[in-house]
């Protein structure tokens, strides 16, 4: 630290010794098919759900909870 002109107090003030942030919690499953394949409703619609919608089924049919 002395080579860089830093003190322990400066490092503490900068947060160098703070605990790391917690990882984000996994997304909540909003949709699930009969085989148990999940989709959280974020990102691109999975292929199993695209096929079901193209076959005439509604997305809401697969909603859980």
Structural domains in the chain?
2-62 (4.10.430)
pLDDT band at 2 (very low <50, low <70, confident <90, very high): confident
Mean pLDDT (whole number) for 13-31: 94
Q: pLDDT band at 1, cuts 50/70/90?
A: confident
Q: Which two tokens stand for residue 61?
A: 């049919």
Whether pLDDT at 28 is above 80 = yes
Give the span between the Cα atoms of 31 and 35, in whole angstroms. 12
The arithmetic mean of pLDDT across residues 19-41, rounded, is 95
Return the H-helix or E-strand segment holding 32.
strand 31-32
Q: Give the pLDDT band (50/70/90) at residue 30.
A: very high
Q: With bands split at pLDDT 50, 70 and 90, how would you rate the model's confidence at 38?
A: very high
């Amino acid at each position: 630290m002395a080579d860089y002109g830093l003190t322990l107090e400066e490092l503490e003030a900068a947060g160098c010794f703070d605990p790391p942030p917690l990882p984000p919690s996994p997304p909540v499953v909003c949709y699930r098919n009969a085989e148990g394949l999940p989709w959280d409703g974020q990102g691109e619609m999975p292929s199993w759900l695209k096929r079901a919608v193209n076959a005439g089924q509604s997305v809401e049919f697969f909603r859980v909870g």
